[in-house]
C-alpha cells in the first residue's frame, strides 16, 4: 500500500478520496526538517500545505514520486530539487478563488466603513455612551462615519482567477476597477502597464501576485508614498510582497488610511512585528482562502492529483510536467 504523507492535515474529503483509492494516509507529527526527513523516507507522495519542503527533505524521500500542493502557490516547495530527484510537483488552481476574493472585499468594507474602530470605541466608551445623546451623534463626534465603495477605484495587482472574481464583486458595488499584470494582456478589466501610474489614482489596492524575486518588497516606502492619503492596501497573497516595517510607518504617519494583511514574512510573524502596534490595520491568520468550502475543494484537488498520477494520467496543474514522462 502506497503511503501519502501530509505535512499538515487536509480536508477529510481529500483523505477519503485517497483511502478509497488504496493509499495509506498519515499526517506528520511536526513540520520541522528533521521530523519531515524521517516521515518522508517511505512516502510515495507528499501533500504540502503552507510549511516548507526544502531540498534536504525531498532528498530523504527515497520512494517519493509526487509532491501535491494543497493550494496554488508553490514558493514553499523546492521545485528545482524535486525536478532533480525526478519528483513531479502538482498544485491546485482556482479552488479558493471565490474565498480569497470574498476576503479582500470583506476587508475593503470593514476598513472603509471603519467597522473595527467603531466596535472598539463602542466597547471602550460603553459607560459614557448616554452622554452623546444618540448613537449617530457618537459616531459623528468620534469620526467613524466611513465611506462607500461605490464610485471608488480598485486596483487589482495580479489579474488571475482571484483577481477576476474580485473584479466581479467590485463591479457589483459600482466600483471603477483597474488592473496590473505583466502576464495578462487581454482582460475586461482596464489594464495598466506601470504600477507607478496606478498607485496615485487607486482608492483600494488588492495584491494577488505570487512571491518571487520580482515581487519581493514590491510595495515599500517609495510606493507607499505615491498612494492617496485615503488609500487602503490589502495583501491576501503572500508575505514579503509588502515591506511590513514601511507599511507600519506609512500607517502611523497617516500616509495611507488603512491596510489588511493575511500573509506575513516570516510566517508566523515575529512578536516584535511593527504591525502589531499599528492602528488601522487588520491582521488575520492566513484565512483568506480557507473557508470550509475552499478547504474541501483544495483537499480533493490535491488528492486527485496523486490519484491521477498513479493511474498514469498527468495531474491537472503540473508545475514541472517534464518529470511526468520519466516516471
Cis before 268 (ω within 30): yes
Is 85 among the residues known to form the active site?
no
CA–CA distance, 206 with 219 (Å, rounded to integer): 12
Which set of grid coordinates corresponds to residue 121?
470605541
Q: Which of 19, 171, 197, 267 is catalytic?
A: 267
CA–CA distance, 58 with 37 (Å, rounded to integer): 8
Paired strand residues for 19:
none
- Per the CB < 8 A criterion, the answer to whether 179 and 191 are in contact is yes
Give every CB contact of residue 153 below 8 A, 6+ residues apart in sequence.
175, 176, 177, 178, 201, 202, 203, 204
CA–CA distance, 232 with 284 (Å, rounded to integer): 16
Q: Which of 49, 69, 164, 238 is catalytic?
A: 238
Is 208 among the residues known to form the active site?
no
Is 238 among the residues known to form the active site?
yes
- Per the CB < 8 A criterion, the answer to whether 103 and 289 are in contact is yes
Q: Which of 113, 265, 286, 296 is catalytic?
A: 286
User: Which residues participate in catalysis according to the annotation?
Assistant: 238, 267, 286
Amino acid at each position: 500500500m502506497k503511503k501519502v504523507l501530509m505535512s499538515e492535515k487536509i480536508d477529510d474529503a481529500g483523505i477519503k478520496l485517497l483511502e478509497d483509492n488504496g493509499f495509506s494516509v498519515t499526517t506528520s507529527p511536526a513540520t520541522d526538517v528533521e521530523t519531515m526527513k524521517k516521515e518522508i523516507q517511505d512516502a510515495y507522495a507528499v501533500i504540502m500545505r503552507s510549511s516548507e519542503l526544502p531540498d534536504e527533505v525531498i532528498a530523504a524521500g527515497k520512494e517519493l514520486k509526487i509532491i501535491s500542493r494543497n493550494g496554488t502557490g508553490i514558493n514553499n516547495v523546492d521545485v528545482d530539487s524535486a525536478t532533480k530527484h525526478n519528483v513531479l510537483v502538482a498544485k491546485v488552481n482556482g479552488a479558493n478563488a471565490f474565498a480569497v476574493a470574498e476576503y479582500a472585499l470583506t476587508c475593503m468594507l470593514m476598513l472603509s466603513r471603519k467597522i473595527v474602530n467603531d466596535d472598539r470605541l463602542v466597547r471602550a466608551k460603553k459607560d459614557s455612551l448616554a452622554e452623546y445623546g444618540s448613537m449617530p451623534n457618537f459616531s459623528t463626534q468620534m469620526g467613524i462615519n466611513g465611506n462607500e465603495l461605490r464610485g471608488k477605484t480598485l486596483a487589482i495587482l495580479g489579474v488571475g482567477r482571484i483577481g477576476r472574481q474580485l473584479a466581479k464583486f467590485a463591479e457589483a458595488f459600482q466600483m471603477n476597477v483597474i488592473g496590473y499584470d505583466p502576464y495578462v494582456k487581454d482582460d475586461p478589466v482596464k489594464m495598466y502597464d506601470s504600477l507607478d501610474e496606478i498607485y496615485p489614482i487607486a482608492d483600494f489596492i488588492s495584491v494577488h501576485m505570487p512571491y518571487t524575486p520580482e515581487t519581493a518588497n514590491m510595495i515599500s516606502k517609495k510606493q507607499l508614498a505615491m498612494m492617496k492619503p485615503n488609500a487602503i492596501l490589502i495583501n491576501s497573497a503572500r508575505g514579503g510582497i509588502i515591506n511590513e516595517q514601511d507599511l507600519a510607518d506609512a500607517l502611523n504617519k497617516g500616509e495611507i488610511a488603512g491596510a489588511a494583511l493575511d500573509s506575513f514574512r516570516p510566517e508566523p510573524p515575529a512578536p516584535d512585528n511593527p504591525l502589531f502596534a499599528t492602528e488601522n490595520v487588520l491582521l488575520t491568520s492566513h484565512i483568506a482562502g480557507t473557508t470550509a468550502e475552499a478547504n474541501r475543494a483544495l483537499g480533493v484537488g490535491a488528492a486527485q492529483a496523486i490519484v491521477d498520477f498513479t493511474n498514469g494520467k498527468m495531474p491537472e496543474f503540473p508545475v514541472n510536467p517534464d518529470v511526468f514522462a520519466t516516471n
